Amino acid sequence: MNKTVKEKEAVLNVFASLMRPLMRVAFEYGISASEISGVVRRCFIQALEARLQDHKRPTTDARLAIVAGLPKSDVSALRDALRAGAPHSLRGNVSLDQITSLLTAWHNDSSFSGAYGMPLDLDLRPTPGSPRRCFKELVTLACPNADQEALLDELIAARSIEIIDSNTARCLSRAYVPPDGDVMRIERTGRFLGVVAANFVHNLLRSDDEPAYFERTVVSDQFLSEPGRDKFLMTIRDKGQELIADLDIFLTALGGSDSHPTGKRYGVGVYFFEELPGERTISDRYERAEAPESRKPPAPAIEEIDVLAPVYRKK
């Protein structure tokens, strides 16, 4: 199906809008641009392979490479990673044995420890003229096959070491206590970001015989103060909780009479958001979508407090 240049650019803007908020998470957890690019390429190849299979077409590396616009060698490597279940991160996994071995060597080996077994400070990178040994030398001695950067990240996260002046590793503890981390919350975030995106994609691409999924938005017309935001949040918590409770009761009753072993699970979410700075307002976007291209939308006679965004069916 042929699409216009403007439509393709609009879709790319959608991807950019999805990615911008996630950059904060990427920075917080040390995710590089290369790792994000690798995730996108792997997801693209995975989805493209499934699409070709649905259309009963060959899914060779060469065909996927042509359609995806990637070198065949890259596609082969991506598919191998998918089949092997390789992690998305460019950095390798670190085992407890490797970490234990490294901390033991740091405290016991006379090349890396001083009086009373106190571990010496190490340079993160080889530094000409420095009297200190290098962290890489310790990794080579204690666990030569380990990923140096991954080891460093794990030890910092566990507060076993700290970094001084951006180039000195100082051991704080011989014990390695892995942090609880936010894995459950991160997985939950990914799950619900995925279903929200799937809602909008369904409404954008659905056929005439498919139902429109519920999609409504209310946004303040005025810039609110923090006290105003907090009042809005309190109202959402009260009314939103009531709505979710009512829907939960309804679904419990519905599940008994309308359940089916080959069916799907459905749900609805209620969430609070703030518009990103520098973006056109959501109300402005919907006014533009409603207006014919030949003329600008007329200015409303009365300025409303809220804007309700309806679902638009694909033409």
- Position 254 pLDDT exceeds 60: yes
pLDDT of residue 310: 44
- Position 288 pLDDT exceeds 60: no
More confident site: 287 or 49: 49
pLDDT of residue 189: 86
- Position 60 pLDDT exceeds 80: yes
Of residues 304, 271, 270, the one with CA closest to residue 287: 304
Of 17-31, 33-47, 295-309, the poorest mean pLDDT is in 295-309
Supply the mean pLDDT for the chain: 83
Domain boundaries, the chain: 5-84, 96-171, 214-257+266-308
pLDDT of residue 281: 54
- Position 312 pLDDT exceeds 60: no
pLDDT of residue 277: 66
pLDDT of residue 117: 78
Query: What distances in angstroms separate CA 259 from CA 152, 157, 209, 212, 255, one per listed residue?
Result: 50, 45, 22, 21, 5
What phi, psi does 164 have (nearest 5°)? -110, 130
Radius of gyration in angstroms for the set of CA atoms belonging to the chain, rounded to a whole number: 27
Average pLDDT of the segment spanning 273-300: 53
CA 205 to chain centroid, in Å, comes to 23
Percent of the chain predicted with pLDDT > 90: 40
**Length of the chain in terms of residues written:** 315
pLDDT of residue 251: 86
- Position 119 pLDDT exceeds 90: yes
Print the SS3 string covering 236-253.
HHHHHHHHHHHHHHHHHH
Burial class (CB in 10 A: 0-12, 13-18, 19+), 1: exposed
Percent of the chain predicted with pLDDT > 70: 84
- Whole-angstrom distance, CA of residue 240 vs CA of residue 299: 32
Average pLDDT of the segment spanning 153-173: 89
pLDDT of residue 295: 37
pLDDT of residue 256: 73
pLDDT digit string (tens) for 202-234?
Answer: 999 999 999 999 998 889 988 999 999 999 999
Tally of CA atoms within 13 A in the half-sphere of 16 that contains its CB: 8
User: Given pLDDT bands bounded at 50, 70 and 90, which one contains residue 291?
Assistant: very low
pLDDT of residue 282: 54
Beta bridge partners of 306: 220
Q: Containing H/E element for 308?
A: strand 306-308
pLDDT digit string (tens) for 62-73?
Answer: 999 999 999 999
pLDDT of residue 238: 92
More confident site: 266 or 313: 266
Average pLDDT of the segment spanning 180-185: 70
Sign of the four-CA dihedral 59, 60, 63, 65: positive
- Position 275 pLDDT exceeds 90: no
User: Given pLDDT bands bounded at 50, 70 and 90, which one contains residue 179?
Assistant: low
